[in-house]
Each structure stands twice: as structure tokens, then as C-alpha cells.
Amino acid sequence: MKRKLSAPARSSIVARAKKYPRVQNTIPYLYQVLRGFRRSRFLRKRCWDSRSFPADLASSASTDVMPEDGATSMADYALHMKMVGFLHGLYPKVHISLHAGELAPAWSRPKAAGCHIRLAVEEAHAERIGHGVRVMHEDRPYELLKEKWPRNT
């Protein structure tokens, strides 16, 4: 059952539209997948999100959330990036925004430093890297930055 707007409400909306004709609101959608999921569930959720991604929304993206240095995140990070890269080949219109290199060196295990940003850019084809504070702790950081900046990642 649809509710009808009252006459004053309708006129208020119309008045605002006339007052600000060039204002366009975009509502970004960010599909989130938990890094702590089991491998099969991670892939299933990524597939579901990629298939249901609205192609007409340029402001939508897919991302992974949960601490980067969690046990599952650390153990499966490279595999997760390969999964995201594989799905990018199947669904190239899906924008990929990944959190990588988000922990300061003092706050995480040394093993966490090595290659997370590089894997996100090279394997998963990330268009945006959230945080990236550990970029100088990556393997070959200057080479990564030269590759990353021209792509506006």
C-alpha cells in the first residue's frame, strides 16, 4: 500500500527541487565481506556481491573488512586477493576498494608488513586502497608507488 504525500509536503519537495536544480545526491554502496569468514563463505559472499552489483551505480564498490592482522586474515590474505582478482575477471564493472597496509608497524606482527598492498593492487586489481600507511614497509615500495600513482589508486 503506497502512502501519498500531503499537499504541503509535495509543494515543499517541489520548491526545494526548483531552488537547487543542479544538486544531485549520490548514495554510495559499499558491499562488505568479512575477512574472518571461512574460505568457502568468503568466496560465496564475494560471488553474491559481484552478481548483485548494480552496474549503473558508479559510486558502488566491494571491500573487505575486519582487522588485517587477524588470524584468518593473515593466513588467507593472498588467497583472498586471488579470489577477488578472479571475480574481477568475471565481473569487471565491480569497483574494488580494499583496506590494506592499515596497521602501523608498532601495532602488528612483522609478518603483516611484507606485501599486502602489493597483493591488493596487483592480484585483486584494487582501484582504491584504504589506509595504506605501511606502503614504505612493503617489498620494493618505490616500485609499488610508481605503479600505483599513475593508476590513481
* Alpha helical stretches, state H, 4-134: 7-19, 39-51, 71-90, 116-122
Position 57, amino acid: L
The continuous run of DSSP H or E covering 142 comes out as: helix 141-148
The continuous run of DSSP H or E covering 37 comes out as: none
Looking at residue 140, its pLDDT comes to 86
Contacts of 25 (CB under 8 A, 6+ apart): none
Distance of alpha carbon 127 from alpha carbon 146, whole angstroms? 15
Q: Show pLDDT as tens, one digit a residue, over the chain (153 residues).
A: 455 656 676 667 666 666 666 666 666 778 889 999 999 999 999 998 888 876 666 667 888 888 887 888 888 999 999 999 999 999 888 889 898 888 777 766 666 557 888 899 999 999 888 888 888 888 888 888 887 776 666
Please, what's the b/e burial string for 47-74 (b: 16 or more CB within 10 A of its CB; e: otherwise)? eebbeebeeeeeebbbbbeebbbeebbb
Q: Return the domain boundaries, the chain.
A: 27-148
